[in-house]
Structure 1
Amino acid sequence: MEKNYFFIILFTLMFFVPQLGFTQTRDSNLSTQQNIEGLSIYPNPVNNGKQFIYITSKNSLTKKVEIFNALGKQILSTVLIGKELNISKLSTGVYILKITESNISETRKLVIK
């Protein structure tokens, strides 16, 4: 009888110990994607005659705004204190906006007709 207990314990340890030693864990910070809360860009699409777009968020903090063309070339980089961004120098086309607020970045598409 004593030998049976020994083999049962040995058999159980062989299956559970390696699983505990080699489990994969995910870092909760890496798997959670952070977004700028309440981010809004309007009007979008923009008619060519417009001079400004408005970028707002729930926290209304200072934002760094970078604008890229369809080829990925940076066209404009600015720090936005309010909510009004001057786009009068942009021609008709599709642009990518990278908005950073409190070390959180989001990208959005901007269409100018």
Structure 2
Amino acid sequence: MKKNYFYFTLLFLLFSFVSFSQDVKQQGETLGFYPNPATNGKIYITSKTSLEKEILIFDVLGKKVLQTTITSRELNINAIPPGIYIIKITEGETTATRKLIVR
């Protein structure tokens, strides 16, 4: 029973953090991506600069499912099975964390 509370608390904190991060975007953050939900195996990173971007994608339990660095705007996510993920995009000193849905 304690294990279920642990996972529930972990998920709650994770989604609360993502929700907070999305609120920050509305206040002028420059990194993002589209489409969400992703349906064609690709997402496109939006940014005001063309610096190298480090991408980390985690499942809802915190396991890293993808780590890559890109110089273009297109990211191939064909290898990720459908589900809900957390994506962290870092470009220079700027970092954005969002919820990613893959269908």
> Taking structure 1 as the reference length, what is the TM-score of the superposition?
0.63
Aligned match for 2:33, one of 4, 26, 41: 41
| Aligned residue in 1 for 2:80 | 90
- Following superposition of structure 1 onto structure 2, how do residues 14-29 of structure 1 map, counting pairs within 5 Å? none
Shift of 1:36: 7.9
Shift of 1:75: 0.7
Counterpart CA distance in 1 for 2:99 and 2:29 is 17
SS of alignment partner, residue 105 of structure 1: strand
**Greater strand fraction, Structure 1 or Structure 2:** 2
Counterpart CA distance in 2 for 1:60 and 1:111 is 25
Report if aligned partners of 1:36, 1:105 keep a CA contact under 8 Å in 2.
no
Report if aligned partners of 2:32, 2:96 keep a CA contact under 8 Å in 1.
no
| Aligned residue in 1 for 2:12 | none
Aligned match for 1:53, one of 40, 43, 46: 43
Which residues of structure 1 form unaligned runs of 5+?
1-32
Counterpart CA distance in 2 for 1:36 and 1:61 is 18
Counterpart CA distance in 2 for 1:108 and 1:65 is 11
Matched to 1:93, the amino acid is G
Shift of 1:81: 0.5
Identity fraction in percent: 47
Q: Aligned-residue CA RMSD in angstroms?
A: 2.1
| Aligned residue in 2 for 1:106 | 96
Higher relative contact order (CA 8 A, sep 6+): 2
